[in-house]
Amino acid sequence: MTFKSLKITRPDDWHVHLREGNLLKAVINHSTRVNQRCIVMPNLNDPITTTLKGIDYIKKINLLSNNNFSPLLPCYLTEDLDLIDFSKGLDENIFIGAKLYPNEATTNSKYGISSTEKIYPALEILEKKDKILLIHGEKVDSEIDIFDREKYYIDQELSLIRKTFPNLRIVLEHVSSKYGAEYVNYSPNIAGTITPHHMMLTKKDVFLDKSINPHHFCMPVVKNEEDLIALRNFATSGNKKFFLGTDSAPHPIEFKVPNLKSKPGIFSAPCSIEIYASIFDEEKSLDNLEKFCSINGPKFYKLPVNADQIELIEERWTVPEYTIHQEIKIKNFMGGKELNWKLKA
């Protein structure tokens, strides 16, 4: 039996939730073990809406990580953002861009956007400064089926943003549908991140025979087989519009179970690079893994590609069931299951 090994340029994670406090301490090493840079999401309990909050959060992350690791932070857009402060944060590279959460679309999005027109002045600043707009692309409306939120956001909001700001560069985050992936593929100035779980799960993995699996509940919700196949095809094709963004989103286990009040989010950081490698292997596309993980992202963000490499080896291992740190216990995605690829320590 021959075992494969693969060296690729060190990856970056263009969408991850590192959280704060003890939760940050519990999860950060799982992201820094592999990535040089992470776009860290600003939806903390007190969202990062000012440069001061941004500087403070970056400092907290840097205190817990090694010198080589760089957290990159988008400003959390609100309808009453201080635009002078926002401009300054972009100029001083405290903010890499800005994150648009539709109101109540996911965890800590209650300060998010209800009326897109109200943030046009902020989008104009982003477009002028050539900074990235990151979008959680789901239209939240009680009339709209939860599985169609991405499509409605694209048709009703995103297309209007693009018409109004044609030069604004946009990342449609955690693309979750065939419709969304095709939209990204044919639209100029847009790229998309794809999570491991949207390429592993369909709604059958959430809605089981007689119960619901809260550990597979995330936003956007995982969809149908044809969506999963489309995402796999775009990710593994080498297409430069798609790149790695895990959306690893830890919640302590008591916020996932019991599932009546389950919070959305899947914590994949302990094995995300290994899942991506396994998917690319299954799709016979290991040659394109480096493009997806390490090249397409920095090119779109106009940042240098990392200088060093990581090595992945073909080796069966079992993902630990939980990540535990002091009183915090988090269920790992794929916990207890076997994977074929492992990061060489």
Which residues sit at the interface with Zn ion, rule CB under 5 A? 247
Question: Which residue lies nearer to Zn ion by CB, 6 or 265?
Answer: 265
247 is catalytic: yes
Q: How far is the CB of 316 from Zn ion (least distance, A)?
A: 30
Query: Could you say which of 145, 247, 281, 308 is catalytic?
Result: 247
What is d(CA 166, CA 188) in angstroms, rounded to the nearest whole number? 9
Question: Which residue lies nearer to Zn ion by CB, 157 or 247?
Answer: 247
- With beta carbons less than 8 A apart as the criterion, state whether 278 and 341 touch: yes
What is d(CA 93, CA 24) in angstroms, rounded to the nearest whole number? 23
- With beta carbons less than 8 A apart as the criterion, state whether 137 and 101 touch: no
Q: How far is the CB of 166 from Zn ion (least distance, A)?
A: 26
Q: How far is the CB of 6 from Zn ion (least distance, A)?
A: 28
Q: Which residue of this chain has its Cβ atom nearest to Zn ion in the complex?
A: 247
Question: Which residue lies nearer to Zn ion by CB, 9 or 106?
Answer: 106
Question: Which residue lies nearer to Zn ion by CB, 42 or 286?
Answer: 42
Q: How far is the CB of 185 from Zn ion (least distance, A)?
A: 21
User: Which residues are annotated as catalytic?
Assistant: 247
